[in-house]
């Protein structure tokens, strides 16, 4: 792995006279300059309205620049660093390696539309939510930023079209068509509504003039993709070697694939056994699929958005009453229906950026795909029990609370870059931890809701390895979601497709298992469950680092396995 990384970078001499803090500052500021959409989303609003150089030359030049900076970080004299700085160094190296993997090894900008649609953690995207929905400034100020952004979209759209000219699988084409076309529809309809309060008539006129060229530019990308003949089957699998590189370079996980797959399968089997036991209580005369269907049929009559708004204060109260971890702030999350350009993601949180102050987080829930049948759309709506753990995952004590912590960490590296396995692992871990702590008071229907979410993440992990390293077909992945996660046909198709363009979605279960193992090892000599609060607070205090690095901090004398 060291050789693989070394091939991506050059050689640099150490910089013994440069303070570590100054080197970190240099990296952060240069990164924000070259990634202005990310910078704006993190609250550095001097970069508002700008998009990066997404030409092929620009993307590869930025990867080379980051690679050269990697050498400066790697060769910084360790003897000059405190233990906290050594940890930050290792954290930053992983973050840099993540950029290098997706850009140079996987070549995502030239194969995967998701690169531009916000599917990568901590990078640039076309998502206009910073300007449209985040009230960081007056509506007139944000409208002007959106106008500048829309003009930038016209500039970068031809670059994206050229970058995505290579043949691609059908799942990538569908993602791109729905994402780029959804953005165009969002511009034409929702943006004008969002900025209706802008007072200046000239500003409204300027916005209308900027929206249509941007919408047409993105529709051209969608049209290009829709005209494509997709490659046969799934032609973009990483393969075992690159998949292992992904795990190391993005998460510092070095578990052999066979061992990793066995651990993931064992967790799937554990959850299936627990589901069988819960169904024996809940619906003893039903088959397991019928039992899950019974749970799923119990929909919130007020709809998922209204139901989630009721659930959030109840979840927060449970955390406080059971003293599970510290809530470091008084912020609350809003709940809204997700915008059309990002409805391939069933639920997600849009937290304030590291540099933002006073900006609310928004918890989004997506409606079903209107192209599905009426029955599939009805089945897609979350049940009350399922939604409870979606809200747990996204808000209390999941991502929203975790970002309350990371936005307060003194390390800018920890605040800006929360890793995939840390964030999704924590969110998924929180679901199971809350059930174990007594959420639902033993109600088997609530337990089935928790297990339903867990099983979907289990199958994601198995599918990610299968699709990318074992020759699993899309149809086989869909069948696995139907048979082992008990998802409806529309959800099974969506989840299987996601595994093709987001192989990192195994990180939900992988991260959860690493956190559970860390908790077990940390608390075994500290009183068991009474130690959970201390463990959770220590876990969340350092941002969102690779979990193996965090394990070495929390368990410095332990050489045990991460799984």
Quick: pLDDT tens for 254-273. Answer: 999 999 999 999 999 999 99
Within a domain: 367: yes
Within a domain: 477: yes
- Examine the domain organization and report whether 437 and 546 are in the same domain: yes
Within a domain: 562: no
Q: What are phi and psi of 442, to 5 degrees?
A: 80, 5
- Examine the domain organization and report whether 232 and 257 are in the same domain: no
pLDDT at res. 4: 39
- Examine the domain organization and report whether 435 and 465 are in the same domain: yes
Domain boundary among 236, 261, 282: 236
Within a domain: 161: yes
- Examine the domain organization and report whether 189 and 263 are in the same domain: no
Q: How many angstroms separate the CA atoms of 279 and 234, rounded?
A: 36
Within a domain: 17: no
- Examine the domain organization and report whether 448 and 539 are in the same domain: yes
- Examine the domain organization and report whether 269 and 213 are in the same domain: no
Domain boundary among 236, 268, 291: 236
Closest CA to 379 of 369, 389, 391, 392: 369
Tell me if residue 11 falls in helix, strand or coil.
coil
pLDDT at res. 121: 66
In the predicted model, residues of the chain with pLDDT beneath 70 are 1-17, 120-122, 341-342, 344
- The neighbouring-strand residues paired with 361 are 333
- Examine the domain organization and report whether 499 and 406 are in the same domain: yes
Within a domain: 322: yes
- Examine the domain organization and report whether 207 and 275 are in the same domain: no
Whole-model pTM: value is: 0.94
Q: How many angstroms separate the CA atoms of 14 and 17, rounded?
A: 9
Q: How many angstroms separate the CA atoms of 550 and 424, rounded?
A: 15
Neighbours of 314 (CB within 10 A): 12
Distances from the Cα of 473 to the Cα of 465, 466, 469, 479, angstroms: 11, 8, 11, 10
- Examine the domain organization and report whether 232 and 261 are in the same domain: no
- Examine the domain organization and report whether 267 and 225 are in the same domain: no
- Examine the domain organization and report whether 435 and 521 are in the same domain: yes
**Alpha helices (runs of H) in 187-303, residue ranges in sequence order:** 192-194, 201-226, 240-251, 257-282, 288-296
Within a domain: 245: no
pLDDT at res. 143: 97
Within a domain: 145: yes
Boundaries of domain holding 280: 253-551
Distances from the Cα of 397 to the Cα of 86, 390, 447, 534, angstroms: 29, 11, 17, 15
- Examine the domain organization and report whether 428 and 287 are in the same domain: yes
In this structure, are residues 163 and 224 in contact, taking their beta carbons and an 8 Å threshold? no
Number of domains in the chain: 2
pLDDT at res. 346: 81
């Amino acid at each position: 792995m060291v050789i693989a990384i070394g091939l991506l970078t050059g050689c640099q001499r150490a910089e013994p006279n440069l303070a570590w803090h100054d080197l970190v500052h240099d990296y952060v500021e240069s990164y924000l300059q070259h990634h202005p959409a990310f910078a704006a989303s993190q609250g550095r609003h001097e970069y508002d309205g700008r998009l990066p150089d997404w030409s092929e030359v620009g993307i590869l030049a930025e990867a080379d620049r980051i690679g050269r900076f990697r050498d400066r970080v790697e060769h910084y004299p360790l003897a000059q660093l405190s233990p906290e700085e050594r940890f930050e160094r290792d954290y930053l190296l992983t973050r840099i390696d993540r950029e290098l993997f997706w850009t140079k090894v996987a070549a995502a900008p030239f194969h995967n539309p998701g690169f531009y649609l916000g599917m990568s953690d901590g990078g640039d995207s076309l998502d206009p939510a910073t300007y449209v929905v985040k009230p960081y400034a007056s509506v007139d100020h944000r409208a002007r930023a959106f106008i500048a952004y829309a003009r930038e979209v016209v500039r970068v759209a031809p670059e994206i079209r050229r970058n995505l000219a290579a043949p691609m699988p059908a799942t990538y084409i569908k993602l791109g068509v729905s994402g780029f076309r959804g953005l165009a529809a969002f511009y034409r309809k929702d943006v004008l509504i969002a900025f209706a309060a802008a007072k200046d008539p000239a500003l409204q006129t300027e916005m209308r003039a900027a929206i249509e060229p941007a919408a047409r530019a993105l529709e051209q990308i969608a049209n290009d993709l829709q005209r494509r003949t997709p490659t046969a089957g799934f032609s973009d699998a990483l393969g075992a070697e690159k998949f292992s590189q992904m795990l190391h370079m993005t998460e510092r996980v070095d578990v052999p694939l066979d061992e990793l797959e066995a651990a993931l399968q064992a967790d799937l089997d554990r959850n299936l056994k627990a589901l069988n036991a819960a169904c024996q209580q809940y619906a003893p005369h039903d088959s397991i699929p019928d039992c899950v269907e019974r749970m799923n049929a119990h929909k919130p009559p007020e709809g998922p958005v209204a139901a989630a708004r009721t659930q959030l204060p109840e979840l927060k109260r449970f955390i406080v009453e059971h003293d599970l971890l510290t809530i470091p702030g008084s912020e609350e999350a809003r709940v809204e229906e997700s915008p059309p350009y990002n409805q391939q993601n069933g639920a997600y949180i849009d937290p304030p950026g590291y540099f933002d102050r006073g900006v609310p987080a928004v918890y989004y829930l997506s409606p079903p795909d209107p192209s599905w049948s009426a029955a599939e759309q009805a089945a897609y709506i979350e049940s009350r029990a399922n939604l409870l753990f979606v809200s747990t995952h996204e808000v209390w004590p999941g991502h929203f609370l975790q970002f309350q912590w990371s936005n307060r960490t003194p390390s800018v590296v920890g605040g800006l870059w929360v890793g995939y396995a840390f964030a999704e692992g924590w969110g998924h871990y929180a679901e199971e931890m809350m059930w174990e702590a007594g959420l639902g008071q033993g109600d088997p229907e609530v337990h089935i809701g928790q297990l339903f979410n867990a099983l979907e993440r289990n199958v994601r992990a198995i599918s990610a390895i299968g699709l990318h390293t074992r020759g699993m077909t899309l149809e086989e992945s869909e069948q696995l979601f139907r048979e082992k996660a008990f998802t409806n046909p529309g959800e099974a198709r969506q989840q299987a497709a996601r595994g093709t363009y987001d192989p990192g979605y195994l990180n939900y279960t992988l991260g959860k298992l690493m956190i559970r193992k860390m908790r077990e090892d940390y608390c075994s000599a500290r009183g068991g469950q009474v130690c959970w609060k201390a463990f959770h607070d220590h876990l969340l205090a350092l941002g969102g680092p690779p979990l193996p690095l965090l394990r070495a901090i929390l368990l410095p004398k332990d050489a045990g396995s991460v799984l």
